[in-house]
């Protein structure tokens, strides 16, 4: 299964707000743990190593730009 990068979230602003809200009241260390746990949960949900490798590659490229 190839990585699907098409927009698929009906309300991206609401999802972003949900993510910001999840970090409310957390110190930096707890916030980083939340992000790491969320990434691991979503990676497990995807479950396809090739898709995950492609997503990591694309995310890393955009982080260096």
Instruction: Please write the tens of the pLDDT for every residue from 2-18.
Output: 999 999 999 999 999 99
**Domain-embedded: residue 36:** yes
- The model's pTM is 0.86
Domain containing 40: what range? 28-65
Interior/surface letters 22-53, b for 16+ CB within 10 angstroms, e for the rest: eeeeeeeeeeeeeeeeeeeeeeeeeeeeeeee
**Domain-embedded: residue 11:** no
Task: Give me the pLDDT at residue 65, please.
Answer: 74
If one counts the domains in the chain, the total is 1
**pLDDT, tens only, 29-43:** 999 999 999 999 999
């Amino acid at each position: 299964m190839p990585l699907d990068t098409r927009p698929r979230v009906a309300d991206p602003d609401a999802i972003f707000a949900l993510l910001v809200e999840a970090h409310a009241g957390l110190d930096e260390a707890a916030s980083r743990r939340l992000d790491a746990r969320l990434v691991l949960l979503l990676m497990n949900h995807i479950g396809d190593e090739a898709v995950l490798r492609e997503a990591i590659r694309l995310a890393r490229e955009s982080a260096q730009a």
